[in-house]
Amino acid sequence: MRVLVLGGTAWLGGEIARYAVGQGHSVTCLARGESGAVPDGARLVTGDRTRPDAYAPLVEARWDLVVDVSRQPGQVRSALAALADLATHWVFVSSGSVYADHSRSGAGLTTPLLPALEGDEAGLETYGEGKVACEEACRAARGDDVLLARSGLLAGYGDRSDRLGYWPGRFALAQEDGGPVLVPERADRPAQFLDVDDLARWLVDAGLDGVTGPVDAYGPRRVLADVLEAAQQVAGFTGQVVPVSDEALVAAGVQEYMGSRSLPLWIADPQWAGFSDRDTTSAERAGVPVRDLADTMRDALAWERELGLGRTGRRAGLDRTDELAVIAAGGS
């Protein structure tokens, strides 16, 4: 099949292209080429999607599948204007951030959406609204004949968000230096994610099979304790774990879920109680695959080792010295 990936040099786009090549498909990637090389076997068409001529090299052919990973409504609209009539199947990688309410555990596709962004460019603070606008553009161009894959947190090798990887990486570092590891006392809260390899292969296979409509492409409903246990096992950790209460973590200035000086995946705010606990019915019906948790953890740990277990300035997590200082202060 002829597969076009609008992207293909960054993390998810590259995994989509790599899987499609491995399945024997003819794969073309449209990208600026600044995030890295396309996978071996794929063809790179260099283009800036903010320019009107970006799609000119692609309009002379028909495509069995187009997969778009953009978060910018202007780019999605221009791609559809140029290519919608040339594609048999279309997949847009959206996000669970399109939902307006994250307080309810087990919520599904009927959750109200945010208002669509009116402009062409979404910033980080309007990421969800931008994805809603992208979805609306897809529906306007193709009606119901589009797969809207609303993805949650992705994990695995190559993840630069530092979120899931923090835990096996931190346990591995502590095993080396002999010190304790700080964990949230409330480990019974949700911690939901999907392996990037699972999402990539599902996007290609489901797209070519003609799966359409919105799907919450989330992994299984887990709790943080599951993550911590698997992370300790793959890291071979035998040291001390220090649970710290929500109150003490907040008092110490530790942030929730992501960002600098955070504890990844930890969510204490009740307004976000359902963010990592979405209903998986649509994913299961659509055939979203799920790797074994230990396999994802091993890949995440391999990537952490490659980046450096003791590195500072993480995108998510605590620097080791800061973590030990919080423990020494009793969490406050």
Amino acid at 68: D
Residue 301, CA distances (Å) to 18, 101, 157, 199, 200 in order:
21, 33, 8, 19, 20
**The tokens of 56 are what?**
């000119």
Query: Chain-wide mean pLDDT for the chain?
Result: 96
Say yes or no to pLDDT of 8 above 80. Answer: no
pLDDT band at 316 (very low <50, low <70, confident <90, very high): very high
Express each pLDDT in 239-249 by its tens digit.
Answer: 999 999 999 99
How far is it, in rounded angstroms, from Cα 101 to Cα 111? 7
Please tell me the predicted confidence (pLDDT) of residue 79: 96
Do 144 and 212 form a contact (C-beta atoms < 8 A)?
A: yes
Say yes or no to pLDDT of 262 above 70. Answer: yes
How far is it, in rounded angstroms, from Cα 64 to Cα 134? 21
Domain 2-151: CATH superfamily, name plus number: NAD(P)-binding Rossmann-like Domain (3.40.50.720)
CATH number for the region 159-192+222-273+292-328 comes to 3.90.25.10
For the chain, what are the domain ranges?
2-151, 159-192+222-273+292-328
2-151 against 159-192+222-273+292-328: fold identical: no
Say yes or no to pLDDT of 330 above 90. Answer: no
Express each pLDDT in 182-204 by its tens digit.
Answer: 999 999 999 999 999 999 999 99
Say yes or no to pLDDT of 157 above 70. Answer: yes
What number is the average pLDDT over the span 198-212?
A: 98
Do 301 and 174 form a contact (C-beta atoms < 8 A)?
A: no
